[in-house]
């Protein structure tokens, strides 16, 4: 392959690898199966290449790389080998081209493989999980409370070395209900105000405490031995403390051993036997004059508070010191190897510390955790002081501040969250770590959540850890397979836990219930969607029918002419103006009068002369006063009396907007035999009294009256003549409706004109419709006075 192509491929590979962060790769693997499969294939290819590479260098080392994780853990070794091989390659190429001269620096030979250490045998299973042991928590005086709504409270009965009394803190919690779920730290004030003694800031020669084999640990399991130990600890200025915890066969866990050492002795305290008597150690643990040295005390502080009510003031965490000093290792095994040349047996880290009597190997391992710790502390103090003078900063003060933050940690019961799955053991965290590729779909997630809830409740009831009840990998496997029968569940895996076998029927029922719940939710969602759609459609149709019924007039009252038939079809359509306005026909006379003003402006039809249309209301409020005045003048001129019944209703009969022009007719011209308008519109309203509009007259009506009075004054002679003509020869003929214009046809013609204008409107994309400029008019523009223009006339 050409060098340029090879270099280009290397660059592309590096660019693609840098685009994705390491933390995002599991996420993309979970959402894209193709990407996950390709990544797996690439990882296997890289593994094979590295195995092949090391087989050329050292065949024994090639077998050490079993999976991809080995590459991550031993990448520095891979990188060093590659560098050496590349240097050898350059050397050989230069030698072949004749460019090689005597090298100033000879290439270092390939690293010789160190002799492999013999792997120690694994601990027997009975030492890791002692299933034959009875539960020690059954012998506790106060049995553990595993309820979900449990509110933990301090176990302190007294508070030695206190700056703030215990009674004051208890009253503060009782008066403030918000502190019930998050108690304050009882020794918070003492820890914050504490400072290391002055002698801690002095350089010292580390005191050698001898080897573990030379010192016999003191086993403390009685109150007398505890008192003797406490008496000796009070005389010390520094002590080392460590704990051994067990949480596999208990829901919350408990401390099994406590190791304490000073410069002379090592004690191993049986905390299972002296669980309720260890609170007396607060006299030493909270003494600000005594330095308590621990390594990685994040969980130790929590466990001491939860099980014994113990708190630590004036703490030095050697893990914080390794961080500040920038060591390449931060574990206790690293410090033991660095300063004491002692190699701890890591196999006992996961041992079952409930075993009694304790085997000699486990006792020696527990002793070594604190036996060398004070000696290591002396070395760390010296290095902190030396580096402080070099860096010109107080590194020991930084370690003290970080250690204080660890001592201020509080024990709080973690609640179970079935809805959102928050928390360390919440279903969301377990699903993201173990079930992202197996649990797919809403149904599988519903079953997974139900099984997770069952596992938590069963672990609380049996006082077992959730890992013992149902491990995470088994939980995801069961949720993914969804077994509906007991035999199917028992055949899922060969490594079923005892409680899964015991509660197999109950687990299957939980899966069935979860599936039924999911199916009901789907049915409800579907039925809700269909019901909502059908109800919305039905409501729209019913509303349309109701609105149409309200707005539709009586067709029988119109003349059956062709013009009226075509106009009525458009008038009755849903797209008409009257239908869109949602015009209704009120029942009362007053409402009809108000509605008439808005309706009659738009509606006009050729109505049959016999029947009056309900919309053509003839009682108009605007002209009532004028007609009443005219009737009074006529009465005075003729010196005759008019009948009282029906005069007010028939005085101001006006047909409005039936044609282009308005025509009046006097009361005497009305055909008394014809049915009145009230009979047509609503016969039940005839008994309603006529409203005298002259009393309640608005300003707009007064303006109209003033205008008409002016016209009457200007044409007084014509009005007098007209009135005399009306008195002498009253017309008995009915109003001629046939000569009036059809409003609906007129409105239809207007729409047709507008439509034609829109079709012939300007289109900028059509050249034929573009407006041409009149050049002659542009040459002679009209310039207003006082304004200048740049146009030059010819």
335 with 482, same domain: the answer is no
Q: Is residue 108 a part of any domain in this protein?
A: no
What burial letters (b/e) apply to 150-164, b meaning 16+ CB within 10 Å?
eeeebebeebebbee
Q: Is residue 4 a part of any domain in this protein?
A: no
Predicted confidence (pLDDT) per residue in 164-221, tens digit? 999 999 999 999 888 878 899 999 999 999 999 999 999 999 988 888 988 999 999 9
Q: Is residue 791 a part of any domain in this protein?
A: no
Tokens of 283: 């006299």
Pairing of strands 654-655, 663-664: antiparallel
159 with 53, same domain: the answer is no
370 with 436, same domain: the answer is no
Cis amide leading into 314 (omega within 30): no
Q: Is residue 710 a part of any domain in this protein?
A: no
235 with 346, same domain: the answer is yes
What burial letters (b/e) apply to 611-624, b meaning 16+ CB within 10 Å?
ebbbbbbbbbbbbb
Q: Is residue 784 a part of any domain in this protein?
A: no
Give every residue of the chain whose pLDDT is below 70, as ranges. Answer: 1-3, 10, 14-24, 27, 58-65, 68-69, 71-74, 98-120, 529-700, 713-748, 751-794
401 with 437, same domain: the answer is no
> Of 372, 407, 442, which closes a domain?
407
237 with 176, same domain: the answer is yes
Number of domains in the chain: 4
Q: For residues 331 and 296, what is the distance between their CA atoms, to the nearest angstrom?
A: 8
512 with 572, same domain: the answer is no
272 with 389, same domain: the answer is yes
E strand or H helix at 472: helix 472-481
463 with 328, same domain: the answer is no
Q: Is the distance from CB of 23 to CB of 44 less than 8 angstroms?
A: no
Structure letter (DSSP) for residue 316: E
Q: For residues 550 and 511, what is the distance between their CA atoms, to the nearest angstrom?
A: 58
Q: Is residue 713 a part of any domain in this protein?
A: no
Q: For residues 451 and 478, what is the distance between their CA atoms, to the nearest angstrom?
A: 9
399 with 433, same domain: the answer is no
> Of 407, 439, 463, which closes a domain?
407
Structural domain boundaries enclosing 396: 155-407
Model pLDDT, residue 443 = 92
> Of 378, 407, 436, which closes a domain?
407
193 with 324, same domain: the answer is yes
Q: Is residue 79 a part of any domain in this protein?
A: yes
Q: Is the distance from CB of 564 to CB of 605 less than 8 angstroms?
A: yes
CATH for 465: 1.10.150.80
Q: Is residue 487 a part of any domain in this protein?
A: yes
Q: For residues 242 and 292, what is the distance between their CA atoms, to the nearest angstrom?
A: 10
390 with 442, same domain: the answer is no
CATH for 329: 3.30.420.10
Q: For residues 128 and 126, what is the distance between their CA atoms, to the nearest angstrom?
A: 6
The reported pTM is 0.56
Predicted confidence (pLDDT) per residue in 58-95, tens digit? 666 666 667 766 766 667 777 777 777 777 787 787 77
């Amino acid at each position: 392959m050409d060098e340029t192509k090879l270099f280009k491929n290397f660059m592309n590979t590096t660019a693609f690898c840098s685009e994705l962060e390491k933390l995002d790769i599991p996420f993309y693997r979970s959402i894209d199966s193709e990407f996950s499969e390709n990544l797996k294939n690439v990882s296997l290819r890289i593994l094979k290449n590295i195995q092949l590479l090391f087989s050329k260098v050292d065949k024994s080392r090639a077998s050490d790389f079993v999976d991809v994780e080995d590459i991550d853990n031993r990448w520095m070794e891979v990188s060093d080998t590659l560098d050496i091989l590349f240097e050898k390659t350059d050397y050989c190429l230069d030698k072949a081209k004749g460019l090689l001269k005597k090298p100033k620096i000879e290439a270092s030979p390939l690293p010789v493989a160190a002799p492999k250490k013999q792997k120690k045998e694994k601990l027997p299973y009975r030492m890791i999980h002692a299933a034959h042991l009875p539960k020690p928590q059954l012998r506790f005086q106060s049995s553990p409370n595993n309820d979900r709504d449990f509110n933990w409270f301090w176990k302190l009965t007294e508070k030695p070395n206190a700056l703030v009394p215990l009674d004051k803190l208890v009253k503060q919690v009782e008066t403030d209900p918000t502190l019930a779920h998050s108690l304050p730290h009882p020794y918070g004030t003492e820890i914050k105000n504490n400072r290391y003694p002055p002698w801690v800031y002095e350089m010292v020669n580390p005191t050698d405490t001898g080897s573990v084999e030379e010192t016999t640990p003191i086993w403390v399991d009685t109150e007398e031995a505890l008192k003797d130990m406490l008496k000796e600890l009070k005389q010390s200025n520094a002590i080392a403390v460590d704990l051994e915890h067990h949480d596999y066969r208990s829901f919350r866990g408990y401390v099994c051993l406590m190791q304490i050492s000073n410069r002379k002795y090592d004690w191993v305290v049986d905390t299972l036997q002296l669980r309720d008597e260890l609170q007396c150690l607060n006299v030493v643990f909270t003494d600000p004059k005594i330095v308590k040295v621990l390594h990685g005390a994040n969980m130790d502080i929590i466990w001491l508070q939860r099980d014994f009510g113990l708190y630590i003031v004036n703490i030095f965490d050697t893990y914080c010191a390794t961080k500040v000093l920038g060591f390449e290792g931060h574990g206790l095994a690293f410090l033991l190897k660095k300063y004491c040349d002692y190699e701890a047996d890591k196999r006992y880290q996961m041992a079952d510390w409930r075993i009694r009597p304790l085997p000699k190997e486990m006792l020696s391992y527990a002793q070594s955790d604190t036996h060398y710790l004070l000696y290591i502390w002396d070395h760390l103090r010296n290095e902190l002081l030396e580096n402080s003078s070099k860096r010109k900063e107080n590194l020991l003060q930084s370690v003290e501040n970080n250690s204080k933050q660890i001592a201020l940690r509080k024990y709080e019961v973690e609640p179970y969250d079935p809805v959102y799955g928050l928390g360390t053991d919440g279903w969301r965290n377990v699903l993201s770590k173990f079930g992202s590729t197996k649990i797919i779909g809403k149904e599988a997630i519903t079953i997974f959540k139900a099984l997770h809830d069952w596992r938590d409740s069963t672990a609380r009831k049996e006082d077992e850890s959730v890992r013992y009840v149902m491990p995470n990998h088994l939980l995801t496997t069961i949720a993914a397979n969804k077994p509906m029968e007991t035999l199917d569940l028992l055949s899922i895996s060969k490594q079923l836990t005892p409680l899964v076998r015991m509660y197999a029927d109950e687990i299957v029922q939980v899966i069935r219930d979860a599936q039924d719940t999911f199916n009901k939710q789907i049915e409800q969602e579907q039925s809700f969607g269909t019901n909502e759609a059908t109800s919305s459609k039905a409501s729209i149709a019913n509303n349309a029918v109701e609105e149409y019924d309200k707005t539709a007039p009586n067709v029988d009252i119109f003349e059956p002419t062709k013009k009226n038939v075509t106009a009525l079809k458009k008038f009755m359509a849903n797209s008409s103006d009257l239908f869109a306005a949602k015009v209704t026909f009120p029942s009362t006379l007053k409402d009809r009068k108000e509605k008439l003003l808005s309706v009659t402006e738009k509606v006009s039809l050729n109505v049959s002369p016999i029947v009056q249309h309900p919309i053509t209301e003839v009682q108009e409020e605007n002209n009532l006063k004028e007609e009443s005045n005219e009737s009074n003048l006529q009465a005075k001129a003729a010196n005759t009396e008019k009948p009282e019944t029906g005069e007010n209703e028939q005085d101001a009969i006006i047909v409005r907007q039936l044609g282009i022009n308005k025509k009046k007719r006097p009361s005497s011209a009305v055909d008394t035999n014809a049915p009145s308008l009230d009979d047509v519109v609503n016969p039940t309203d005839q008994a309603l009294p006529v409203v005298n509009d002259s009393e309640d007259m608005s300003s707009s009506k007064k303006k109209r009256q003033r205008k008409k009075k002016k016209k009457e004054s200007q044409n007084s002679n014509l009005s007098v003549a007209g009135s005399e003509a009306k008195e002498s020869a009253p017309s008995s003929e009915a109003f001629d409706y046939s000569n009036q214009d059809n409003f609906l046809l007129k409105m239809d013609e207007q729409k047709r004109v507008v439509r034609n204008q829109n079709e012939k409107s300007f289109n900028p994309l059509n050249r034929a419709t573009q407006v041409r400029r009149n050049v002659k008019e542009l040459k002679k523009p009209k310039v207003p006075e006082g304004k200048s223009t740049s146009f030059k006339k010819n």
